[in-house]
């Protein structure tokens, strides 16, 4: 038990680090001006767009996951892996992909033009939300799909026997599962949307629809008013902390039962419902895949124009991504094990850990920089700092997946393991590992891919020696090389996806 509490130590270290960076910035202030009216408006927009984004991502994600779970078709496994893809796109690539479809010069506008409609206007709050749904609905679908897979097949069979269909089936079988899985998933989306930056700026259409992150960015990068950045970050993080703890505290605890049949063997379904599911899958796949196809088409032409030195940048990006994945795994496994042992407070504690998502990477980077600059040259440790900040940003995903894996393992196998007297390494290997492995694969894959596309951290203390693919892409765009930049974007997305798929497949094998 003591060991298990001690496993939480890295968690405290992470929280202390986050609080420390904000404090360091706050201490540089010579009295903050507080929030102006415009800041309040920005804060309100930041929160409500994040709430709406989370809600819509939830609706789309759950619908998609449900249809996917109930439908068998060739390529289903592949589609589930590909579902990770939108989430892995660097924001700027995703925005350009989305605009190729939904923009004023996009496919949809071009298709409407002959009929006298359009061009459609994607810019504004609705554009920001559409982009967030594109990004995050697949993530929700992935997280929820795991929940569906945990409903024992016996329950579906029992439901068949009892003739439960439609609403009743949903109400008694699926809703209880969703109540345990969905709040955490929605919370992650909400927190991700809070720190949105490039998406809100480009698709928001102007200062009407920008987030507090833009104000933080301005404070750090333009005004160099670190105290104000710390003040804004403290407000943003504090608000998110309250919301995170409340949501996870209110979520129903997981109550998985032991089943033998993992997939439903037969289900009574009307033909119409099956067709409806297939249509839904096709429609949502089209929504999610079309911007990806646009990125692909734009990029292929540019592949021929990739600069010669790019392989070095690619290798650096891959090493960074792998390091983040390893670090996040080393942090998350003990923390999740410790959290799962907390029982009553597990949810609240996990909520607290989730704020690493809500802390602006700029704030984290600037705070770290100030903390260490008197001791080591920040240059020499720029890459490790990037790894650290990215790992912290990925930690909440890892915990989300891992905590429930540990809880599940203990619920399902705990008694059997106890009666067999399994302890120590044996307990880990036989009881925990089969549950933890898929979660670890998914979270390490997400961490690797997200670090690959990260722009935020390096923006503050990067250098030529730390140039990564996203920056190579931006600097090509800055030199009018739009085609080559599209090529780099394609390379970046392919590598991110390959890393993600590698980890994810390893986990699910």
Please identify, among the stretches 258-266, 343-351, 367-375, 426-434, the one whose residues bind another protein according to the rule CB under 8 A: 367-375
Please identify, among the stretches 18-26, 146-154, 230-238, 480-488, the one whose residues bind another protein according to the rule CB under 8 A: 480-488
Report the residue from 87, 467, 493, 503 that binds another protein according to the rule CB under 8 A.
467
* Contact status: 326 vs another protein (CB under 8 A): yes
* Contact status: 330 vs another protein (CB under 8 A): yes
Measuring CA to CA, which residue among 272, 273, 260, 67 is closest to residue 157?
260
* Contact status: 432 vs another protein (CB under 8 A): no
Report the residue from 212, 431, 458, 490 that binds another protein according to the rule CB under 8 A.
458
* Contact status: 293 vs another protein (CB under 8 A): no
Whether the upstream peptide bond of residue 119 has omega within 30° of 0, thus cis, is yes
Alpha-carbon gap, residue 303 to 207, rounded angstroms: 35
Residue 135 Cβ vs another protein, minimum distance, rounded to whole Å: 17
Measuring CA to CA, which residue among 431, 430, 429, 441 is closest to residue 402?
441
Residue 35 Cβ vs another protein, minimum distance, rounded to whole Å: 14
* Contact status: 10 vs another protein (CB under 8 A): yes
* Contact status: 373 vs another protein (CB under 8 A): yes
Q: Which is nearer to another protein, 159 or 459 (CB)?
A: 459
* Contact status: 469 vs another protein (CB under 8 A): no
Q: Which is nearer to another protein, 247 or 484 (CB)?
A: 484
Residue showing tokens 């997939």: 263
Interaction residues for another protein, span 198-217 (CB under 8 A): 198, 201-208, 210, 214, 217
* Contact status: 118 vs another protein (CB under 8 A): no
Q: Which is nearer to another protein, 126 or 411 (CB)?
A: 126
* Contact status: 103 vs another protein (CB under 8 A): yes
Q: Helices 310-340 and 346-353: crossing angle, nearest 10°? A: 160
Q: Which is nearer to another protein, 155 or 236 (CB)?
A: 236
* Contact status: 461 vs another protein (CB under 8 A): yes
* Contact status: 377 vs another protein (CB under 8 A): yes
Alpha-carbon gap, residue 205 to 207, rounded angstroms: 7
Report the residue from 291, 462, 487, 507 that binds another protein according to the rule CB under 8 A.
462
Residue 102 Cβ vs another protein, minimum distance, rounded to whole Å: 11
* Contact status: 260 vs another protein (CB under 8 A): no
* x/- letters, 40..79, toward another protein (CB under 8 A): -x--------------------------------------
- The burial of 250, by beta-carbon neighbours within 10 Å (0-12 exposed, 13-18 middle, 19 or more buried), is given as exposed
* Contact status: 481 vs another protein (CB under 8 A): yes
Q: Helices 346-353 and 9-27: crossing angle, nearest 10°? A: 40
* Contact status: 31 vs another protein (CB under 8 A): no
Residue showing tokens 């709050």: 125
DSSP 343: G
SS3 202: helix
Q: Which is nearer to another protein, 146 or 390 (CB)?
A: 390
* Contact status: 291 vs another protein (CB under 8 A): no
Q: Which is nearer to another protein, 27 or 420 (CB)?
A: 27
Report the residue from 32, 218, 256, 494 that binds another protein according to the rule CB under 8 A.
218
Residue-by-residue DSSP string for 204-252: H-SGGG--HHHHHHIIIIIS--HHHHHHHHHHHHHHHHHHHHHHHHHSP
* Contact status: 111 vs another protein (CB under 8 A): no
Torsion of CA 220, 222, 227, 233, to 10 degrees: -50
Report the residue from 133, 366, 392, 499 that binds another protein according to the rule CB under 8 A.
366
* Cβ burial 359-376 (10 Å sphere, 16+ → b, else e): bbbbbbbbbbbbeeeeee
Q: Is 305 within 8 Å of 484 (Cβ atoms)?
A: yes
Residue 410 Cβ vs another protein, minimum distance, rounded to whole Å: 24
Residue 288 Cβ vs another protein, minimum distance, rounded to whole Å: 21
* Contact status: 85 vs another protein (CB under 8 A): no
The tokens for 225 are 């008013």
- The burial of 184, by beta-carbon neighbours within 10 Å (0-12 exposed, 13-18 middle, 19 or more buried), is given as buried
Q: Which is nearer to another protein, 242 or 315 (CB)?
A: 315
* Contact status: 324 vs another protein (CB under 8 A): yes
Tell me how far CA of residue 135 lies from CA of 58, 123, 376, 408, 508, in angstroms. 12, 17, 38, 28, 23
Q: Which is nearer to another protein, 281 or 295 (CB)?
A: 295
| Other Cβ atoms closer than 10 A to 69 | 20
Q: What is the 3-state secondary structure (H, E, C) of 424-488?
A: HHHHHHHHHHHHHHHHHHHHHHHHHHHHHCCCCCHHHHCCHHHCCHHHHHHHHHHCCCHHHHHHH
Please identify, among the stretches 176-184, 187-195, 322-330, 399-407, the one whose residues bind another protein according to the rule CB under 8 A: 322-330
Residue 382 Cβ vs another protein, minimum distance, rounded to whole Å: 8
Q: Is 25 within 8 Å of 229 (Cβ atoms)?
A: yes
């Amino acid at each position: 038990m003591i060991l298990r509490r001690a496993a939480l130590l890295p968690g405290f270290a992470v929280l202390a680090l986050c609080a420390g960076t904000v404090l360091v910035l706050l201490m540089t202030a010579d009295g903050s001006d507080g929030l102006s009216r415009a800041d309040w408006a920005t804060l309100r927009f930041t929160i409500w767009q994040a709430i709406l984004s989370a809600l819509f991502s939830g609706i789309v994600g759950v619908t998609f996951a449900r249809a996917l779970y109930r439908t068998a078709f060739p390529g289903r496994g592949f589609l589930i892996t590909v579902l990770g893809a939108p989430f892995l796109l660097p924001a700027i690539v995703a925005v350009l992909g989305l605009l190729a479809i939904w923009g004023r010069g996009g496919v949809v506008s071009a298709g409407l033009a002959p009929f006298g409609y359009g061009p459609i206007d994607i810019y504004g709050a609705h554009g920001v939300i559409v982009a967030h749904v594109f990004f995050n609905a697949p993530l929700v679908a992935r997280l929820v799909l795991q929940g569906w897979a945990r409903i024992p097949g016996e329950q579906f069979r029992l439901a068949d026997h009892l003739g439960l269909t439609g609403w009743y089936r949903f109400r008694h079988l699926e809703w209880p599962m969703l109540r345990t899985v969905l709040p955490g998933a929605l919370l992650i989306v909400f927190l991700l949307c809070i720190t949105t930056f490039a998406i809100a700026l480009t698709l928001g259409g102007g200062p009407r629809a920008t987030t507090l992150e833009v104000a933080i960015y301005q404070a750090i990068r333009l005004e160099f008013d670190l105290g104000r950045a710390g003040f804004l970050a403290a407000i943003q993080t504090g608000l998110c902390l309250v919301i995170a703890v409340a949501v996870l505290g209110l979520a129903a605890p997981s109550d998985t039962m032991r089943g033998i049949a993992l997939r439903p063997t037969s289900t009574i379904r009307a033909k119409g419902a099956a067709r409806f599911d297939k249509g839904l899958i096709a429609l949502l796949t089209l929504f999610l895949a079309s911007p990806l196809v646009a990125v692909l088409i734009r990029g292929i032409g540019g592949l021929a124009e990739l600069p010669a030195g790019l392989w070095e940048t690619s290798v650096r990006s891959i090493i960074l991504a792998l390091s983040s994945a390893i670090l996040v795994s080393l942090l998350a496994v003990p923390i999740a094990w410790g959290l799962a042992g907390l029982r009553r407070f597990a949810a609240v504690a996990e909520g607290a850990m989730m704020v690493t998502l809500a802390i602006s990477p700029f704030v984290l980077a600037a705070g770290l920089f100030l903390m260490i600059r008197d001791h080591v040259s920040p240059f020499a440790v720029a890459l490790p700092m990037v790894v650290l900040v990215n790992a912290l940003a990925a930690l909440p995903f890892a915990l989300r997946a891992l905590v429930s894996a540990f809880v599940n393992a203990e619920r399902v196998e705990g008694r059997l393991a106890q009666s067999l007297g399994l302890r120590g390494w044996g307990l880990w290997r036989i009881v925990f590992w089969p549950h933890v492995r898929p979660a670890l694969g998914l979270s390490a894959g997400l961490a690797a891919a997200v670090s690959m596309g990260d722009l935020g951290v390096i923006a503050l203390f990067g250098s030529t020696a730390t140039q990564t693919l996203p920056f190579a892409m931006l600097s090509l765009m800055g030199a009018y090389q739009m085609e080559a930049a599209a090529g780099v974007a394609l390379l970046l997305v392919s590598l991110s996806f390959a890393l993600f798929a590698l980890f994810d497949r390893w986990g699910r094998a």
